[in-house]
Amino acid sequence: MEYSINKLSKMSGISTRTLRYYDEIALLKPVRVASSGYRIYGRKEIDTLQQILFYKELGFSLDKIKKFLTAPDFDMETAFNHHLVELLNQRERLDGLIDNVKKSLAAIKGEITMSDKEKFAAFAQRLVDENERKYGAEIRAKYGDGTVDASNERVRGITKEQYERAKRLNTKFEETLKSAFATGDPAGELAQKACELHKQWLCIFYPNYSKEYHLGLGELYISDERFKTNYEKLAAGCTEFFREAINVFCKE
Amino acid sequence: MEYSINKLSKMSGISTRTLRYYDEIALLKPVRVASSGYRIYGRKEIDTLQQILFYKELGFSLDKIKKFLTAPDFDMETAFNHHLVELLNQRERLDGLIDNVKKSLAAIKGEITMSDKEKFAAFAQRLVDENERKYGAEIRAKYGDGTVDASNERVRGITKEQYERAKRLNTKFEETLKSAFATGDPAGELAQKACELHKQWLCIFYPNYSKEYHLGLGELYISDERFKTNYEKLAAGCTEFFREAINVFCKE
DNA sequence: ATAAACTATTCCGTAACGTCAAAGTCAAGA
DNA sequence: TCTTGACTTTGACGTTACGGAATAGTTTAT
């Protein structure tokens, strides 16, 4: 059974434009092309399209979906784990936004008159990051935006002592990680100690620490350039190494 | 006090590229431009930038932020309310994705067998998405958001009775299909009755039933392994037979 | 034969910038 | 004064996953 692009489109609910796009990026090629240039799809292509739609529903990018389909021995479990971590991060960020918007709304409805826009803006700014202005820039410069943005709510209440402690922990952590990297064994004692230090550091900003989140952070370090360059400064390949270490650490 | 683009960039943590972009879209213009073409910012621009960053932290688009800043009597409360609703919707969607990814992960790991019930739920979810994708915007444009949400709710939160009815229908359908397959005639009375039962089953989840969709479903059953194995359990070759039957059924 | 329906290939646009590239500007040391 | 280096400018392309439009060729039906 053969299908024109329009037939396939109507069957699947996917626009012809999209199907052409999938052809263009080699995600879904027609089984053959007629002499007229018309695309012709077969049964196998319908099957593939269904799979594509399935992965799409889970929020995977087309690029990853392509890898799923082309590499037959793709490590699905790892890929899904990565994806889950990413989604969890996204949700946490959303939670933060929602929280702040709710607060701002309350402020608007409350004592602020809408006419006095400037007053409100000033107030709202104070509302969001009183502490952020004090330490935020400093922290941001050191650890990258992600730390501040993702944990705005928690960072806000951080004390100077805590900040000093974080700084000390971080120094110690970097030293330990560097030594650990020299051993080349991410499961070794040194590497695991680095993980422990990192966990302590992390707990300052994220009181609700979980292994799941720690694991996710390992992924974040690799995928986020800002973190990666930070760690790569210690040693080339250090980020990957640290991720391995975290993987071991969190599985114990 | 006057600031070069670099100074402002370093003070605010915003890249020069971004500042130029904000100039380009008229979100933040420099106070003046030197004869050399260099941008020069003043104190007022710093304040404006702070405001921009505040709104950005709440997840507003630059376009909306511009309206906040330029329209002096903007209805903040309404805008914030809309924004909040949008964020909540996004989170709900994320929750759904996370749920599905978790389930898929469990399935991959083999922790649970994709039971019939879950298959069922997955399928229902897919129908919702498809329904939303196809008609959502249209309906929403006509009747407002409420309608779609209610409609989706109906599908997602199918009642126990509906579920029971679906189950009964499905059993009956399978029996009929099995008998029909024995006759070998996809255009015969029994096969057509099976199609009718299938249609009724389908209509529980898909109120906007159309022959076209039913037809497409026939293809889906053959191409999707999860469905295919389900039907092949009844009899070998049964899936193909059923598709033929649907073809006849929908052409009447 | 001609109109209707279908299909193809560009190309532009989306949001919010990052990342070069080529070229002009400014302050300071030799 | 010349040159070097730091700084700045304006393009222009890349990113995601397509939507939409323009233009031109193909197939099908009457």
pLDDT tens digits, A190-228:
788 888 878 777 666 555 556 665 675 666 566 555 556
ipTM summary value: 0.60
Q: Decide if A94 touches B, using CB distance below 8 A.
A: yes
Domain boundary among B133, B157, B181: B157
Model confidence band, residue B10 (pLDDT cutoffs 50, 70, 90): confident
Same structural domain, B39 and B28: yes
Same structural domain, B121 and B94: no
Whether the pLDDT of residue B125 is over 90: the answer is: no
Same structural domain, B201 and B181: yes
Average pLDDT score, chain A: 72
With beta carbons under 8 A apart, name residues in chain B contacting A47: 223-224
Residue A81 belongs to some domain of the structure: no
Residue A239 belongs to some domain of the structure: yes
**How many pairs of residues across A and B have Cβ atoms under 8 Å apart?**
110
Q: Domain of A56: which CATH number?
A: 1.10.1660.10
Distances (CA, A) of B18 to B2, B6, B24, B57, B142: 19, 11, 10, 15, 39
Residue B36 distance to chain A (closest CA, Å): 32
Share of chain B above pLDDT 90, in %: 22
Residue A145 belongs to some domain of the structure: no
Number of domains within chain A: 2
Residue A100 belongs to some domain of the structure: no
A105-117 per-residue burial string, b: 16 or more CB within 10 A, e: under 16: bebbeeebeeeeb
Whether the pLDDT of residue A36 is over 90: the answer is: yes
Domain boundary among B124, B157, B190: B157
Same structural domain, B230 and B213: yes
pLDDT of residue B22: 98
Residue A188 belongs to some domain of the structure: yes
Same structural domain, B171 and B245: yes
- Which residue in B48, B51, B65, B97 has the most chain A C-beta atoms within 10 A of its own C-beta, making it the best mutation to test that interface? B97
Q: Which domain holds residue A220?
A: 158-251
Whether the pLDDT of residue B155 is over 90: the answer is: no
Same structural domain, B149 and B164: no
Q: Domain of A189: which CATH number?
A: 1.10.490.50
Encode pLDDT of B63-114 as tens digits: 999 999 988 777 887 888 889 888 988 988 898 888 888 877 776 665 544 4
Which nucleotides of strand D are protein-proximal, with an atom < 7 A from a CB?
A: 7-10, 16-20, 26-27
Model confidence band, residue A150 (pLDDT cutoffs 50, 70, 90): very low
